[in-house]
Amino acid sequence: MNKLFSFIKKRYLIIVPILLLIFVAQIERYSELTSSGTFGAALRLSIPICLAGVGAIYSERCGIVNIGLEGMMVMGTWFGAWAGWFYGPWYGLLAGLLGGALFGLIHAIGTITFQVDHIVSGVAINILAAGVARFLSVVAYADVPAGGATQSPRVDERIDKISIPYLSGGKINQSETADVFRSLEELDLFLISDLFGLLGGLTRNISYFSILAVLLVPISFWILWSTNFGLQLRSVGEYPVGSESVGVNVYLMKYIGVTISGAFAGLAGAYLVIESAGIYREGQTGGRGFIGLAAMIFGNWKPLGTFLGSSLFGYADSLQLRSEESVHGLLIIIVSVLFIVGIRSMINKNLRTGLISLIFSGLFLFWFLNSSTIPNEFVFFTPHITTLIVLSFASQRLRMPKFIGRAYKKGELT
C-alpha cells in the first residue's frame, strides 16, 4: 500500500488529468474523448513521432545532438514513397529507413570527423534534405502523370492490418469473430467502458508496420540498457575518455549511434507515407522531427518515456479528427494540469511560475465555461499547445548525457 501511495505521489501530474479526462468523457457530447476510434487514431499519429524520438535517443546517448531529425524524416518520406510506388510498401519501408540512415551518416561525418557544431550540422541537414527531395522529385516524376516537383504518385498497396479474434473482431479462416472489447465499450459503464475503449483502439485494425514500430520501443530499451553494445554506446556519451581507456572505439560507436538515429527517423518518414497519406507530399513531416526531439526530452532520454510523450501529442492530434466538442472537452484537462502545476509551484515557493500557471488555468477555465465550441484555428493547433504546456511544466528530474554536444578528440585527457 505504501508503494502504491508513493507511486501516486510521484505521478499525480499524470494520474489526476487522466481521471479527470474519464469523468469529462461521461458527458455525452465529450464521449469521443475515450472512444476506441480516438485511441486508435492516437496510436497511428503518435508512431512517427515516437520513432523519431527513439532514434534521437541513440544519437544523444552517444553524445551527438540530432537537430537534423526533421531532414532525415523528409528523406524517409521521399525514398519510402518512391520505392513503395515501384516495388511495394515493404520495400518502401526499407528504402525510407536507408534514406534516413544515409543522412544520419552525413550528420555523423560532419559532427564527429569534422567536428562541426552539432546544431549547425543539424540545421544544414534539414535544409539539405528539403532541397534534395525537391531535386529528386523533379528528376523522378517529371513525366509521371500523378507525380510532380512536390509530390509522388500514390502508393496503391498497403501493409495488411490485423484485429485480435474474439476480442476486437478479428477474422479466423475469413470468418468474422466477436468483438468483446466493443461490446464492453458500448455498455457506458464508468471506467470500464473507457478502459475497453482504449484496448479496442489499440488492438483493432492495426497494421503490421504499426506493431513493428511499437515493438521497437522495448527492443531499444533492451538494447541500450541490457547489452554490451548499449553500455558502450551510452558510455561514450557520458565519459568518452574512460570508454577509450577500456578499449571502446569511441568514434565507431558515435557513428553507429547517429546512423541508427537517422534510420529510425527515416522509418518514421516512411510510416507517414505508407500508413497515413499513401503519397509523398512536400512538407508532410510537419515538424514531427522536432516534436520527436521534444518527446525524447520529456521522456528523459529513455524509450518508454519518449513513447508516453509521443502518445500525448498523438492523442491531442487525434481529437481534431473526431469533433470540435472533443477538443472543447480537452480544455478542462489543460485547466487541471495548469492548476496542479501552479499550486505545486506555490508550495515550492516558485511564486512566478505558480502565478503564471494559475492565471492561465483561470483563463482556460473561463473559456471552457463560456463557450460550447472552439475556433477551427485552435482545433488545428490543439496538439501543439497541449504538448507545449505539458513539456513546459511537467515535473521531471531530467538528466541529459554529460558529454552531449561536445567535440571529442581521440586521446584527449578531459
Q: Are 58 and 304 in contact (CB under 8 A)?
A: no
Phi, psi (5° rounding) for residue 98? -70, -35
Torsion of CA 68, 69, 71, 75, to 10 degrees: 140
Query: Global pTM?
Result: 0.91
Rounded distance between C-alpha atoms, residue 10 and residue 5, angstroms = 9
Task: Write out the three cell numbers for 296.
Answer: 525524447
Rounded Cα gap, residues 50 and 288, in angstroms? 9
pLDDT digits (tens, 9 = 90+) for 207-257: 999 999 999 999 999 999 999 999 999 999 999 988 888 889 999 999 999
Give the pLDDT band (50/70/90) at residue 7. Answer: very low
Which of 215-224, 237-246, 343-352, 374-383 holds the top average pLDDT? 215-224
> CA separation (Å) from 140 to 91, 149, 151, 268, 270?
17, 9, 10, 22, 18
Instruction: Give the closest residue to 314 by CA, choosing from 248, 368, 382.
Output: 382
Q: 3-state class of 206 per DSSP?
A: strand
Render pLDDT for 90-110 as a digit per residue (tens, 0 to 9).
999 999 999 999 999 999 999
The CATH number corresponding to 33-163+205-322 among 2.60.120, 1.10.3430, 1.10.3470, 1.10.8 equals 1.10.3470
d(Cα 331, Cα 105) in Å, to the nearest integer?
Answer: 42
Determine the distance from the C-alpha atom of residue 288 to the mean position of all C-alpha atoms in its chain, rounded to a whole number. 8
Q: Which residues pair with 172 in a beta bridge?
A: 175
Question: Domain ranges in the chain?
Answer: 33-163+205-322, 323-398
